Structure 1
Amino acid sequence: MNPPVLSWALDLASVAVAIAMALCAWRLWRGPETTDRILALDTLYMNVVALVVLLGLRWNTALLFEAALLVAMLGFVGTVGLARYLTRGDVVEK
């Protein structure tokens, strides 16, 4: 069981991350440029990582920390792949 102050802080942080995720989703939807959408997607990945870590703290489980690491790695690879596709037109050199 978490102390009351920690529980309150986790609630506040979860709400803040949820608002940040909503704003990133709005930027992903509206654009206007492709680079804006890629940056919004990258920020959305980071917000998902933060939310998974917060849930891991709330539920006292280490499994969610490993899931957060996996999401972070996939987000990084996805962002690099999209950036390479935009700059060169392909992801893997031939």
Structure 2
Amino acid sequence: MTLVFTVVTALLCLACAFTVARLLLGPDTVDRIAALDVLVIIIVAAAAVYVAIYRDGSNIPLLAAVALLGFVGSATAIRLTARRKGLR
């Protein structure tokens, strides 16, 4: 099982690196907002791996709250960006 956790952690680190690259190189504000949303999801997934490794379920409500906060934040930011561009 340790091999699975190691592989998952390595893949999360790789995904995080690609997401940070998109965050820094994104040509548009919407790309950067989407990259931040993906980064929040990666952080939640990494915390879920931590919960799975140590079998400590006390952090699960925190994971749900952070995921919800990330979703609401990115949806609000996209809506604000669309209003500033005059799309809606």
Using structure 1 for the length normalisation, give the TM-score: 0.82
Q: Which has the higher helix share?
A: 2
Alignment equivalent of 2:35, drawn from 37, 40, 44: 40
Name the SS of the counterpart of 2:27 in structure 1.
coil
Indicate the residue corresponding to 1:79 in structure 2.
74
Indicate the residue corresponding to 1:49 in structure 2.
44
How far does the alpha carbon of each residue in 1:31-85 deviate from its partner, in whole angstroms, 9 at most, with x for none?
1111111111111111111101000001110122222111101101111110111
Displaced runs of 4 or more, over 6 A: none
Kindly indicate whether residue 21 of structure 2 is the aligned counterpart of residue 26 of structure 1.
yes
Size of the alignment, in residue pairs? Answer: 84
Indicate the residue corresponding to 1:3 in structure 2.
none
In structure 1, C-alpha distance between the alignment counterparts of 2:82 and 2:38, rounded to whole Å: 20
Percent identity over the alignment is 30
In structure 1, C-alpha distance between the alignment counterparts of 2:59 and 2:11, rounded to whole Å: 19
Gaps of 5+ in 1: 1-5, 90-94
Larger radius of gyration: 1
**RMSD over aligned Cα atoms:** 1.1
With a CA cutoff of 8 Å and minimum separation of 6, indicate the structure with the bigger relative contact order.
Answer: 2
Gaps of 5+ in 2: none
Do 1:28 and 1:41's aligned partners in 2 also have CA atoms closer than 8 Å? yes
